[in-house]
Amino acid sequence: MDQKITNEYLRWVNKVNEDKDLVKELQDIKDDESKIEDAFYCDLEFGTGGLRGVLGAGTNRMNIYVIRKASQGLSNYVNEHYKNGSIAISYDSRIKSDVFARTAAEVFAANGLKVFIYKELMPTPCLSYAVRELHCSAGIMVTASHNPAKYNGYKVYGEDGCQITTNAAAEILSYIEKLDIFEDVQHGDFDSYLKEGKVEYIDDELTTRFINRVKEESLLFNEEVNKDVKIVYSPLHGTGLKPVTRILKESGYKNIIVVKEQEEPDGNFTTCPYPNPEIAEAMQVGIQYCKKYDADLLVATDPDCDRVGIAVKNKNNDYVLMSGNQVGCLLLDYVCSQRVKHQKLPANPVFIKTIVTTDMAKKIADYYGVKTLEVLTGFKFIGEQVLFLEKEGKEKSYILGFEESYGYLSGSYVRDKDAVDGAFLIVEMFTYYKTKGISLLDKLDELYKQFGHYSNYLKSYEFTGSTGFKKMNDIMEKFRHDVTQIGDLKVKELLDYSKGLNGLPKSNVIKLIFADGSSIVVRPSGTEPKLKIYVSLLGRSEEENSNKNAILFKNIEELL
């Protein structure tokens, strides 16, 4: 084992004494070189997503020392750019999230920054809202989103309430890298800072303002609908319980059944080991509730309540999970049609989607005369475009943004995907159509008939090590220069985002648009040694697209 790794491990053994779990782990791995090496061979990577990693001892793990170092680097960045800087903090239900939130607060306060922190766990969109409303210089959200229980993370937000993008992340990282994890970090006592006023709890009134602001996103415009629908809701052991049930009840939806087994915060995610509403397994307990209570709709939010998934009843009384692309297209059509109907469509309306989100959305937007902006993968780039609109005094032109991974936002009050807003609008849309005798599946079929039947698929291919990295790059170059046809699909247009298309940051992403209106997006994952391929197929039916997809991926794998 490398001597540097051994020395760092021994330094941790000598220095770590505040967290008994870390002390025990360091002792437990003393005779296991592979575990020591994995925990200390590198620092946990900091980027636009902040930090995310497995909980445990070591520089390549999530623990209070890594949190302190990152917070010191962020403090130095904020103090360099702002006088009298301040930071807002929120956290989710994950293991040690509350500890990490307090740990970060102790570092910020020690560095002269005013800290605003929620009294209890609170969704990611509430953090974004607090940053903006309290005029903070930055914000952090302690969460690993929908990852399994062994993970936690630390997302960083700018003064605009949007996750930091490339330039800010690089600058903050430069401050972090200058620090010794034990010697260069200032911190103190949370309770003392609280008494001194250097740390302040965020008042409940701010949460009420957030809820009321989301209510303003309603598109009923005083139309009467039957709100006596039976809704099963699950927060998947996360932060969504209070805000989601509150906004629905205050808006007149009284018939809400909460999944008891998933109601309480639980960092172990006992009933759903992978707490992601995109995954069928995570929705199974909720679907059982739907069958038991003969519910109309299942709504589930992920642990930090920025993603929302749903299931609806079909004509056979089975419950069907709907994809992020399907729900997004339904919401886009609902938002546009209601605004047109009530003459509430703003001048020069704008819809924002990521480049891997279904191409069907642009067709819907075009139909209503709404401009579509396409951005790189990640909701932070949608938030960034809303900021640009705001700077031009045009934020009211923004009517909706969504990404295929179950993230939606209809207003400019926050700059990240918001599952409180998403759940609220989905329930309203469902109720609106149900009052007219139309199911969401019926409405989706109607949209398919109008705009073409789009089906979307995602497949990942793993390439590990340095040879795998080289092979991924070779594959990307092949798609850039050599692919003019895949099977029967002829390439009509190639979009190479490494050139910084349409004013977007340069990114190693390629989109091939085929002559029949189908497309694929190819990109290396930013967090894993994987090549991701997103397919959007246009056909006459799901069956036709499924068959076409099988053939397409067979041809793609021959290229790989």
Structural domain harbouring 56: 42-209
Residue that finishes a domain, picked among 178, 209, 240: 209
Query: Which one from 128, 145, 405, 518 is the annotated catalytic residue?
Result: 145
CA 332, distance to chain mean position in Å, is 19
406 and 277 Cβ atoms separated by less than 8 Å: yes
For residue 187, give Cα distances in angstroms to 67, 106, 190.
Answer: 11, 5, 9
Mean pLDDT over each residue of the chain, to the nearest integer: 95
CA 424, distance to chain mean position in Å, is 17
Do 46 and 101 fall into the same domain? yes
Do 464 and 542 fall into the same domain? yes
For residues 25 and 250, give the distance between their C-alpha atoms in angstroms, rounded to a whole number: 47
Q: Is residue 47 part of a domain?
A: yes
Do 238 and 92 fall into the same domain? no
For residues 156 and 434, give the distance between their C-alpha atoms in angstroms, rounded to a whole number: 40
Query: Looking at residues 414-443, what average pLDDT do you find?
Result: 98
For residues 352 and 383, give the distance between their C-alpha atoms in angstroms, rounded to a whole number: 9
Do 398 and 503 fall into the same domain? no
Instruction: Show the CA angle centred on residue 24, arms to residues 22 and 26, nearest 5°.
Output: 70
What is the CATH number for 165? 3.40.120.10
Query: Looking at residues 43-66, what average pLDDT do you find?
Result: 95
For residue 141, give Cα distances in angstroms to 80, 124, 222, 388.
Answer: 21, 6, 36, 23
Contacting residues for 316 by C-beta, under 8 A, at least 6 apart: none
Q: Is residue 216 part of a domain?
A: no
**Reported confidence tier of residue 527, pLDDT bands at 50, 70, 90:** low
Query: Looking at residues 208-219, what average pLDDT do you find?
Result: 98
**Reported confidence tier of residue 525, pLDDT bands at 50, 70, 90:** confident
What integer pLDDT is reported at residue 469 of this predicted model?
Answer: 84
- State residue 117 phi and psi, 5-degree precision: -135, 140
Do 248 and 279 fall into the same domain? yes
Token pair of 103, please? 């740990």
pLDDT above 70 covers a percentage of the chain that reads: 100
Supply the DSSP string of 47-88, one letter for each residue.
BTTBEEEEBSSSTTSBSHHHHHHHHHHHHHHHHHH-SS-EEE
Token pair of 504, please? 């977007």
Tally the domains of the chain: 4
**Reported confidence tier of residue 465, pLDDT bands at 50, 70, 90:** confident
Do 503 and 363 fall into the same domain? no
Q: Is residue 338 part of a domain?
A: yes
Measuring CA to CA, which residue among 320, 322, 328, 401 is closest to residue 358?
328
For residues 279 and 377, give the distance between their C-alpha atoms in angstroms, rounded to a whole number: 20
Q: Is residue 246 part of a domain?
A: yes
Do 59 and 202 fall into the same domain? yes
Beta partners for residue 519, in sequence order: 513, 536
Q: Residue type for 45, please?
A: E
What is the CATH number for 489? 3.30.310.50
Contacting residues for 439 by C-beta, under 8 A, at least 6 apart: 312, 313, 314, 433
Q: Is residue 430 part of a domain?
A: no
Do 316 and 369 fall into the same domain? no
For residues 344 and 341, give the distance between their C-alpha atoms in angstroms, rounded to a whole number: 8
Do 409 and 465 fall into the same domain? no
Helix (H, G, I), strand (E, B) or coil at 416: coil
pLDDT tens by residue, 70-98: 999 999 999 999 999 999 999 999 999 99
Q: Is residue 11 part of a domain?
A: no
Question: Is the pLDDT at 463 greater than 90, yes or no?
Answer: no
Do 145 and 274 fall into the same domain? no
Residue that finishes a domain, picked among 259, 293, 321: 321
Residue that finishes a domain, picked among 417, 438, 465: 417
Query: Looking at residues 361-368, what average pLDDT do you find?
Result: 98
Do 329 and 313 fall into the same domain? no
**Reported confidence tier of residue 501, pLDDT bands at 50, 70, 90:** confident
- Helix-, strand-, coil-residue percentages of the chain, each rounded to 5: 45, 20, 35
What integer pLDDT is reported at residue 202 of this predicted model?
Answer: 98
Q: Is residue 85 part of a domain?
A: yes
90 and 57 Cβ atoms separated by less than 8 Å: no
For residues 541 and 261, give the distance between their C-alpha atoms in angstroms, rounded to a whole number: 38
Contacting residues for 423 by C-beta, under 8 A, at least 6 apart: 233, 240, 244, 247, 248, 299, 301, 308
Q: Residue type for 137, please?
A: S
Q: Residue type for 251, please?
A: S
Do 513 and 552 fall into the same domain? yes
For residue 468, give Cα distances in angstroms to 430, 460, 520.
Answer: 46, 14, 22
DSSP H or E segment with residue 385: helix 379-391
Question: Is the pLDDT at 349 greater than 80, yes or no?
Answer: yes
Measuring CA to CA, which residue among 488, 401, 458 is closest to residue 217?
401
Query: Looking at residues 318-345, what average pLDDT do you find?
Result: 98
| Owner of token pair 């052991």 | 237
294 and 133 Cβ atoms separated by less than 8 Å: no
Q: Residue type for 517, please?
A: G
Contacting residues for 185 by C-beta, under 8 A, at least 6 apart: 68, 69, 71, 72, 107, 179
For residue 160, give Cα distances in angstroms to 108, 414, 454.
Answer: 19, 8, 35
DSSP H or E segment with residue 398: strand 398-403
Q: Is residue 412 part of a domain?
A: yes
**Reported confidence tier of residue 52, pLDDT bands at 50, 70, 90:** very high
The total number of residues written for the chain in this structure: 560
Catalytic site includes residue 145: yes
